[in-house]
Amino acid sequence: MARQKGIIKLKGTIGDISFYKSQDGHLAREKGGVDASRIANDPAFVRTRENGAEFGASAASGKLVRDAFRSLMMSAADGRVTSRLTKVMSQIKNFDGVSVRGKRVVQVGIGTPSGKAALQGFNFNKRAILGSLLFKPYAITSGTGVITINGLVPMNDIAYPAGATHVSIKNAFADVDFGGGLYDVQISNTVNLPINGTSTNVILTPPAVPSGAGIKLNLLMVEFFQEVNGHQYSLKNGAYNALCVVEVQ
């Protein structure tokens, strides 16, 4: 893979060279590779088929998580969240110590302590890491999914971007069933605070315990706004907002 330079950027194919644009800029690469039918049938490519099957299943698990929290991700996600989440799901799949190679899956791996640890702490927006924004400790009640932040002083306990006048905090409590492809997400109340020196006990209570037989997840979201004439506006379309998996049960 080579990077295109110069004023004129090409798209398409010339001979055996393909020109295209990606998130990394304008690139070029040589066409080639093994015929697809050979990969699908040749015994020499059995390891390739096994890897492909597991990668596809991991990607589907990542999509399930994105679908579950899409409404929150609209305000707090970076352009590479899909690939980053798929990578984590592939790591979790590796903790499946029961299934044969080629059939290892996330729903088994996530049931292990190592699988849960791999997902806990995942930030959907790498430009805004929760641990770099929120300095006040929070407590999670596992059975109900309630998150409590006692004595939060926004001016002191939150690293807010320039121009922000208000911060909103909310909690998502979810059941994600990777085996069944199902999810139930319960979004808590939103606590909106001016960024000043006032101390507030923040209590984020989901309306119900999510139903399902999957893995229970808690996500914590921090959003920044600027108030102009009584109306609050998101800063740079959510570039500074954090969304993080803070507990995996």
Task: Map tokens 């059995």 to a residue.
Answer: 46
Q: Give tens-digit pLDDT for 71-127.
A: 999 999 999 999 999 999 999 999 999 999 999 999 999 999 999 999 999 999 999
Q: Which pLDDT belongs to residue 110?
A: 98
The band of 18, judged by pLDDT with boundaries at 50, 70 and 90, is confident
Q: Which pLDDT belongs to residue 10?
A: 64
Q: Which pLDDT belongs to residue 112?
A: 97
**Beta-carbon count within 10 A of 56 CB:** 10
Q: Share the mean pLDDT of the chain.
A: 91
Rounded mean pLDDT, 28-50: 64
Residue 177 pLDDT more than 70? yes
Q: Which pLDDT belongs to residue 38?
A: 60
Q: How far apart are CA 177 and CA 58, in angstroms?
A: 14
Q: Give tens-digit pLDDT for 184-240.
A: 999 999 999 999 999 999 999 999 999 999 999 999 999 999 999 999 999 887 899
Rounded mean pLDDT, 5-31: 70
Rounded mean pLDDT, 16-21: 70
Rounded mean pLDDT, 122-150: 97
Domain ranges of the chain: 1-32, 36-119, 130-248
Q: Which of 98, 240, 69 is nearest to 165 (CA)?
A: 240
The band of 23, judged by pLDDT with boundaries at 50, 70 and 90, is confident
Which amino acid does the sequence have at 193? L
CA dihedral 62→67→70→73, nearest 10 degrees, is 0
Q: Which pLDDT belongs to residue 45?
A: 62
Q: Which two tokens stand for residue 245?
A: 């998996």
pTM for this predicted structure: 0.84
Residue 22 pLDDT more than 80? no
